[in-house]
Each structure stands twice: as C-alpha cells, then as structure tokens.
Amino acid sequence: MARGHGLRAPFTLLCAGEALQVEHIFRWLPGRRLTARTHWRGQAVVLKLFLGRGAVRRCARDKRGALRLMAGAAATPRLLAEMAVPELGGRALLFECLPGGRPIASSPEPAAAEEAALAVRVLAQLHTQGLTHKDMHLDNFVLSEGKVYIVDGDGVAPMSSRSKWAGLRALATFLAAYPPAADGRAAGLLACYEQARNWRGGPSRLRQLRRWLRQARQRRIRRYLAKTGRNCTEFAVRKEPAHRCLTKREWAWGQGMAQSGGSLSRALLNALATAEVIKDGNSATVFRLELGGELVVVKRYNVRSLGHRLRAWFRPRSRRAWRNGHALRLLQIPTAEPLALLERHRGPFSAECHLLMRDLGVLDLATETRTSGWRPGRLRQIVNLFQQLAAAGLSHGDAKATNFLVHNDRVHLIDLDSLRPCRTLAIDIHRFLGNFDGALRAEAEVEFAQSGLTYNPSNCSARFP
C-alpha cells in the first residue's frame, strides 16, 4: 500500500495473511486511518484500517462502540472480524457492506427532509438505549434500501445523563450538521424525535432546541475551521523552502501537486508569469490562469511596506479569506471554493500570499442589473443568501454588488476578507441597497420586506424572523 498522501484505489492490502483488494476509498487520513470497500471470503465488506501511534487503542475504541450498537439492536452494520496488519503495524476491522449505501449528506431536497426524519428516529432509538454519538456529522448516517443506519463506533459512548435535555442537546448537534437553510425543519424533526421516545410535545422544548442549535452550529464551524490549517482527511499542509502550502487534499494531489515535481508553489509562480490580470489593486492583485488542467482565480495579497507587513503578520487577510471561504462552503452558502493558500515567508514575517479559488467567471450583479435589470428569481436568491448569513450569525462586511458573482444562474458571495460573526446584517443590507437607485432599489426593498428581512435606515437596524 502506498504511504503517500495521494492514495488511489485499486491496490492490495495484506491482512492476517489474507490479500484484500481495495476497490474504493471512502476516507483516507494519511498515516492514521483508511476506510474502504473490499471483498473478504466472498462478500463485500467495509474495511477500517488503523495506523500509526495509538492504532491498537483507536481500533479497540471503534470495536467497543460497534459492539454497543449491535448489543442494543441499533440500526448499524454488523462487525464481522478484527485483524492484525503486521506489514503496516496496524489493526483492521471488517464490517458488512450495506447494499447501495450512501451518506444522507449527499441527498438533494425533498429526499433530504425524509431521510433526516429517518435518521432522527435512529438517533432517538440510540438515546433510548442510553447511548449517544459524539461525532454527529451526516456521513455517519447511511441510507441503504430505504433504511438509515448509524456508523462509526468510535464516536459511540454512554450518555452522561438520561434526562430529556441531554437527548435534546444531542438532537441539536445533529441538526447543526445541516446548513442554515434547513433550520425550518427543526419543529417537524423535534416532533419525530418526541414521537420515537414517547414524549409529550411542548413549545418550551422547541425554543430550547433552537437555542442549542445555534450554539452547536457555532461549535461546528470552529472545529471545522481548525482543520483547515492542519493535515486531515480534507486538507493537506506542506512546507517548502520559504513557502507554506495549505490545500484541499483531493484537488492538490489529484491535479496541482502533479506538476513541477510536486511543488504547487513552483507551478503557481511559473503560471503567474503569463496569467491574465483581472484586477490590479494596491493591496491585492487578482489573476486568472490555468493550473492542473482547469481555470482558477488567484488573489495575491501584496505587501506595500514594513508597517503593512507587520499588520499582515498579526491579522493575515489571506488566512481569514481561506477560513471564511471554507466556513461558507460548510454552511452550503454559495461562494468560490478555496483550493489552496500559499504563504511565502521572509524571515519570521509573511511576504506575498496567494489564495487559489475556482473560477466563477466575471459576471457580477452590478453588471447584470445595469444591462438587464433584476432577472426573474434573482432577488429571491439574494434574500435567501442574506437569510442564511443571518441564521449563521455572520456578516459579509463589504456587500457591494461587485462582490456578488453570478455563475450558472446562481449568486455567489466573494471577497471574504471581512466576513465576521455579527448579530445584525444592517450594515450589509445598507451597503447592498446603496448600489442601486430608482426602480432597482425599490424592487429590492420590496423583496426584502416581503421576506421578513426588514431594514430601517433611520436607526440602521435589521430584524430577522
């Protein structure tokens, strides 16, 4: 088995003297864990391979959680075998492979709402048994033949309390795994949970659930953003001479790192020499170029002076934009996907930094409305975007029309350097409406008012339902 970051199936793995042909990789955390589909004794199975320091301990913890689920008759794949992997100094668990299994996270509407209700009932069953799951992301709920199963025994543990509030808090954590646009389902899913646990409903419980949902979402964002700066399943960190590269692992190793002997920084600097400049500002320059076989946009953060270099060291705009882009992607708020962040260092300080993003074209709202006014459904998209920001407790900070790009007939937020937590979107709404005059502004104000997202310019306040 290859030990590099760019692991690709198929390959053969020797477990307890048996050769297993790995057909598909579900998850790969380099040097720590591999989850993949293979065949064992004539049947399709899911392999969980634990590597590195603590492999035996982590394998035992996962096995213990799986056995707890099975003992409680929870809907979960059966544990079939445990094996030693002496070649790699690790241990492996084999689980039954659910036919046609896929995470409920991959479901579009309206199927997502139906599957969420099925998952909530599974969660209620787990809580009834006195168990909880500490890693409540949607990939740990798998749909197979119309039934939802809970997986990943590593996160299964006894509930610290059997009170109703403990179950409700765990339900809020599950709901926080969905984007803010799905928060309207909270009341219906709470009713499903109460029914599964034979509880009598009450309005106070729904109010408490919504409070805990907001708190759980903020915790989820913080945990996810911490991953964007370290090696994990989704992100890779690589240090090169005078450079530090943060990348989306799949993109970097599938495309960018294959160039120039594996050096993304060298490939980028070579490509910038002939790149198209689409914005040449004082503090940042934006390029469009081809890298790894696709068009990308690169925002270079310029360093103008020693004082600017010191400020950038304490408050790096490039790192904020990288993190904020991934925060919006996590919340399924449309934005340009950040692919890589290259930080060039000069001594202890940062020099120029480059943020690579997927190319969304050049059509922004300012250009579109100037040529054709408000297109059908466009204002509804914008209001939905503001409502999602409000539900997530975020403010863009520079909501001018040129920071709303239209790509595939959908509005995307860009230029996320100033995105921050905020209790009100009043300034964003004021900045956005200030881009338009006359009938264009009047139409926008009507759409905002009809949505329940109101703005009072006299006291600069906004109210959200």
Residue 302: per-residue pLDDT: 84
The pLDDT tens digits of the residues spanning 307-348 come to 555 455 545 789 999 999 999 999 999 999 999 999 887 655
Tell me the whole-structure pTM to 2 decimals: 0.85
Q: Is the pLDDT of residue 141 over 60?
A: yes
At residue 346, the pLDDT reads 66
CATH code, 157: 1.10.510.10
Instruction: Specify whether 115 is located in the same domain as 158.
Output: yes
127 in any annotated domain: yes
Structural domain total, the chain: 4
Is residue 144 situated within a structural domain? yes
- The reply to whether omega before 10 is within 30° of 0 (cis) is yes
Compute the average pLDDT of residues 150-166.
88
Claim to verify: residue 443 and residue 425 sit in the same structural domain: yes
If you average pLDDT over residues 103-125, what whole number do you get? 91
pLDDT at 281 over 60: yes
For residue range 360-394, list pLDDT tens digits in order: 999 999 999 999 999 999 999 999 999 999 888 89
Strands 33-40 and 43-50: antiparallel
Q: Is residue 1 part of a domain?
A: no
Q: Say how far residue 219 (Cα) sits from the centre of its chain.
A: 13
Chosen domain end from 201, 227, 253: 227
Same domain (yes/no): 15, 111 = no
CA distances from 377 to 256, 288, 307, 401, 437 (A): 37, 29, 46, 17, 19
pLDDT mean over 25-29: 87
The pLDDT of 92-96, averaged and rounded, is 97
Residue 89: what are its φ and ψ, rounded to 5°? 65, 35
Position 2 in a domain = no
Of 350, 342, 359, the residue nearest 269 (C-alpha): 342
Q: Do 207 and 151 fall within a single domain?
A: yes
What is the residue range of 112's domain?
102-227
Instruction: Give the tokens for residue 382.
Output: 């914008």
How far is 69 from 48, CA to CA, in rounded Å? 17
- Domain CATH code at residue 40: 3.30.200.20
Q: Which residues contact 179 (CB under 8 A, 6 or more apart)?
A: 331, 332, 333, 388
- Residue 170 belongs to some domain of the structure: yes
Overall average pLDDT of the 269-287 stretch: 86
426: which residues sit within 8 A by CB, 6+ positions away?
A: 455, 460, 461, 462
